[in-house]
């Protein structure tokens, strides 16, 4: 097998993820090289992701490289993947999942979400909406860019704390700044949070696909992600839509909790469903149908009108 060309974004965290996949491949005696690219989401930092457009903000340019055959596979944060991939592309592997919680990072060890007048830096629509629902006294300011850029913005006084995914913070070695880990029951994460995924063209040599999948995939995490992504796909959620979903495993059963929150935080719909792991995709779709039927359809329409406006 020829050396596999791995495409990735060029941030430190994205490169960490690509090197992690490279290490998994090497353990199976598969040689690879890493080729970094800059994406639309990396270049435009003064506009929210919702305003750039929620589809392929961090993936479009890399998919062009896949289609051109310049790279064989692409490595992404699973939570950055749009609910439906463009024709001709597929996800073939999911790594073992890190802790999925959102966390608060601050230089002030006393900082927490119950603190009066606290200012939180985040550009995630889901996180802003959830804060408005659970902690309406909290003020938020948009902070985008890689983790190092965000921390620098916090240190400059833009905000008192940052709200981020535990996985990225931990992988980049910033655990010492973590002051609060948020409950997943209350502050349910984004679909895919904590896992790394591998994307390729559907036309990629089946032998390469199989080798990559066997080297990289963590089967329990894959089941959870299949369930969550089915949920997201039915809701047609992107990374700028405040949809949340988390699947967990217990023996042969899978439980997914998920829902949607309005942009102002005043309305939230949460649902939960359990079934057999073998039915993971169907269960995710069914949960989405329950959320839509309970009023999620109306909330999502209102969100899209507001974001597009």
Tell which residue, 147, 127, 122, has the closest CA to residue 14: 147
pTM of the model: 0.91
| Rg value, the chain, Cα | 19
Domains of the chain, each with CATH number or no CATH: 1-95+195-217 (3.40.190.10), 102-181 (3.40.190.10), 219-309 (3.30.160.40)
| Straight-line distance from the first to the last Cα atom of the chain, in angstroms, rounded to the nearest whole number | 50
- CA 171 to CA 134: how far, in whole Å? 28
How many other β-carbons are positioned within 10 Å of the β-carbon of residue 51? 12
- CA 283 to CA 89: how far, in whole Å? 23
pLDDT of residue 57: 54
pLDDT of residue 59: 76
Tell which residue, 3, 36, 2, 39, has the closest CA to residue 19: 36
- CA 138 to CA 132: how far, in whole Å? 7
Catalytic residues: 80
pLDDT of residue 239: 67
Mean pLDDT by 10 residues, the chain (309 residues): 92 95 98 86 46 55 92 95 92 98 96 96 94 97 90 96 96 96 95 97 96 98 98 85 96 97 97 98 98 97 86
Backbone phi and psi for residue 106, each to the nearest 5 degrees, phi listed first: -160, 155
pLDDT of residue 123: 87
221 near 270, Cβ under 8 Å?
A: no
Q: Distances in Å between the alpha carbon of 244 and those of 88, 92, 231, 239?
A: 27, 23, 10, 10
| DSSP H or E run through 124 | none
Backbone phi and psi for residue 120, each to the nearest 5 degrees, phi listed first: -110, 135
């Amino acid at each position: 097998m020829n050396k596999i060309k791995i495409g990735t974004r060029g941030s430190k965290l994205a490169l960490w993820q690509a090197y992690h996949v490279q290490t998994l491949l090497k353990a199976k005696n598969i040689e690879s090289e890493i080729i970094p690219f800059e994406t639309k989401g990396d270049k435009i930092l003064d506009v929210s992701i919702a305003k750039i457009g929620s589809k392929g903000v961090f993936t479009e340019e890399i998919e062009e490289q896949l289609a051109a055959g310049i790279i064989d596979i692409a490595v992404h944060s699973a939570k950055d993947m749009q609910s439906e991939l463009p024709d001709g592309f597929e996800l073939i592997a999911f790594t073992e999942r890190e802790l999925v919680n959102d966390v608060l990072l601050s230089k002030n060890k006393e900082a927490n979400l119950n603190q009066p007048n606290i200012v939180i830096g985040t550009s995630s629509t889901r996180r802003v909406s959830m804060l408005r629902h659970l902690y309406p006294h909290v003020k938020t300011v948009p902070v985008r860019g890689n983790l190092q850029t965000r921390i620098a913005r916090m240190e400059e006084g833009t905000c008192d704390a940052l709200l981020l995914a535990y996985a990225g913070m931990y992988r980049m070695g910033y655990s010492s700044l973590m002051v609060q880990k948020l409950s997943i029951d209350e502050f349910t994460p984004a679909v895919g949070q904590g896992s790394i995924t591998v994307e390729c063209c559907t036309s990629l040599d089946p032998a390469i696909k199989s080798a990559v999948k066997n080297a990289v995939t963590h089967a329990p995490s894959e089941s959870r992600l299949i369930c969550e992504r089915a949920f997201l796909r039915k809701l047609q959620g992107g990374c700028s839509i405040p949809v949340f979903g988390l699947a967990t495993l217990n023996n042969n059963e899978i439980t997914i909790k998920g829902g949607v929150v309005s942009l102002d935080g005043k309305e939230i719909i949460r649902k939960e469903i359990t079934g057999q792991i073998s039915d993971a995709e169907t269960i995710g779709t069914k949960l989405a149908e329950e959320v839509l039927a309970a009023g999620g359809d109306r909330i999502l329409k209102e969100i899209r009108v507001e974001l597009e406006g």
